[in-house]
Structure 1
């Protein structure tokens, strides 16, 4: 299958090379030239692992033995064989994406990406080391570190914004073990770290290095494609409970930062799944809400620190893929990205905005409203959710129509215990670990084992660098 750059200035590659490269040489993102035909109804009858394998076979056909890769990625690593269960909570359904080894939705993709990358490397006969570069707003980093830990022939560098992740998210990264893992804080915000990673790719383009560069961010199609599975899994769960009949449309409210998670939902729809509206739920950094409402994407605003830090993003990279999918015009996309880089904003044509609004709705939720919904949902339904999920719930309530509504729950509440304790009226004194234990005692919700173990782990990666030193950090590992 041919993959092309969203900006149209790089040669087409096959799906294995797209995974290996991560980012296209022209700075664009790889997408299949055409969405393949897919038997979506049969897919709904399969187990979660089988669903994943069938979807990945369709989208990444040049990577062999996908059934084995999926088995290696997931078996014994998640709390449930369903991987991502959907549970009824009040009038909504909640898709729990935090049942993996780091208690965040990124586990679904980043358990799979190392398998895809090493298989693609073997398929292409590549002997050099692959160095993974990752910018994280909180959850991607730890999931990537766990996924790539001690994988032969691969090393990984993770950059996170200094002071811009929760204490638990930071602890997860800086305590990471492994001979091939490197973690560093960057002075600045997530957008600075993400731009820095893209600049490293650009600076190294065409140069002879002792390693090949790739990415574990969702700019890599190998990171994005595995996320499609859980939309199918959720729809199948609703079918099994007779909440819906086959063919009924389902709306999904998705807490959104870099636009990868919600784009996976749109790709599920393009593969045939009866998805209704995809609702883009932002926090107070509501650049996506403004864009989906007006057609103007404008990053020229201060980045606010919120209680949902994984959504503290002003440059949503995967939106570029949507612009390509709905316009089919690589020259237009390249021009819009040039405007964003040089001027800080762009405006899409009215026809493209109309096409986007036919598929997506949007809203945002500030910290105060998120706190209110955490408390309300816990009091009314006994269900504990983190601040990102609370944003998804709040926006879902405003956007609810006739279709059943699924809210994506992207992280364990224990990753943000201070905010959650505050919302339910608990005592927030003491250390982060004290607050986790107090939240458990108050609610009876178990602390995930991987988070409970953090207290005893030593910090191994404590460096902080200016963003201008990121390239030097990568080359010096």
Structure 2
């Protein structure tokens, strides 16, 4: 993000992990005094990540589109059920699939794929959500999350749309780092399956898929593929399944290329980009090409405790 364009854009690097930054954003959103100051200056906060349900709404269309494409290709018949596999940490994209089913798309199982930060796997296995564990840095960093914000929306649903009950669970999470749902609520999660892939399994999946098909998976989609194989082994379920491909391999070039062959380990970043383009037989995305010569435009950093102050400074308030 150091080269992010736009004269009205400011980028701030936060010391910590995704959970730290997202919690800081939520705290800012809940700061009533700050909200009043912003309103007085003509500003209002919003979020582009899945804290904002506006992020989930267009994602619902992914699953409608996928279902229609399968019908068009003759892979399924009208009203035939499918499964979906979604690699996720913040639980947004898979919740969008759940909403798609609520709107009428016949989805049988939601297969929730986690990396080594497997808090969601443990939740679907036990009914206990517990973030009191070591945070792991992995090669699928968009899933390096221990506080899955959008799970709260699913909890609200299976709690009978009871806002007070939902609030109690979230307060437990904030105070104790964990909560456990009731047996009745667990029954309502029977259509969900959770599992995870470790770093070795993720790399092996990237390599195997490339060798067998020539297709280059990114690290996150590879987690989804690895978990799907575990699902099939566990359940013997051969229902037609959609695996959500959630990122470009060009965003994680080093991890992808070294998974395919260790000979790439010593290559420089942009050399790896060119090698990936040749392997995948697709052009380097324009956004990546532009980074080669882009100037550094942003170098602001802040501690989590300084986030609100930094925002106010940027806005001149």
TM-score tier after normalising by the smaller chain length: over 0.9
For 1:430 and 1:369, the matched residues in 2 are separated by 23
Corresponding residue of 2:29 = 201
Query: What is the Cα deviation at residue 452 of structure 1?
Result: 2.1
The question of 1:339 aligning with 2:198 is answered no
Do the aligned partners of 2:215 and 2:280 also contact (CA within 8 Å) in 1?
A: no
For 1:446 and 1:197, the matched residues in 2 are separated by 36
Query: What is the Cα deviation at residue 444 of structure 1?
Result: 2.5
Do the aligned partners of 1:428 and 1:435 also contact (CA within 8 Å) in 2?
A: no
Higher relative contact order (CA 8 A, sep 6+): 2
For 2:145 and 2:258, the matched residues in 1 are separated by 24
Corresponding residue of 2:251 = 415
* Counterpart among 260, 274, 287 of residue 424 in structure 1: 260
Do the aligned partners of 2:87 and 2:221 also contact (CA within 8 Å) in 1?
A: yes
Alignment of 1:52-451 (within 5 A): 173-204=1-32, 207-209=36-38, 210=41, 211-327=43-159, 328-356=161-189, 358-400=190-232, 401-425=237-261, 426-451=263-288
TM-score of the aligned structures, taking structure 2 as reference length? 0.93
For 1:457 and 1:442, the matched residues in 2 are separated by 25
> Counterpart of 2:117 in 1: which secondary structure?
coil
Unmatched runs of 5 consecutive residues or more in structure 1? 1-172
TM-score of the aligned structures, taking structure 1 as reference length? 0.62
> Counterpart of 1:277 in 2: which secondary structure?
strand
Q: Deviations over 1:409-452 (max 9, x none)?
A: 11111111111111111413233212111222344232222212
> Counterpart of 2:270 in 1: which secondary structure?
helix
Query: What is the Cα deviation at residue 180 of structure 1?
Result: 1.5
Do the aligned partners of 2:206 and 2:259 also contact (CA within 8 Å) in 1?
A: yes
Do the aligned partners of 2:85 and 2:113 also contact (CA within 8 Å) in 1?
A: yes
* Counterpart among 299, 309, 313 of residue 476 in structure 1: 313
Larger fraction in strand: 1
For 1:277 and 1:303, the matched residues in 2 are separated by 28
CA RMSD of aligned residues (A): 1.2
For 1:375 and 1:208, the matched residues in 2 are separated by 52
For 1:444 and 1:381, the matched residues in 2 are separated by 12
> Counterpart of 1:361 in 2: which secondary structure?
strand
Query: What is the Cα deviation at residue 405 of structure 1?
Result: 1.1
Query: What is the Cα deviation at residue 325 of structure 1?
Result: 1.3
Unmatched runs of 5 consecutive residues or more in structure 2? none
Deviating runs (4+, > 6 A) in structure 1? none
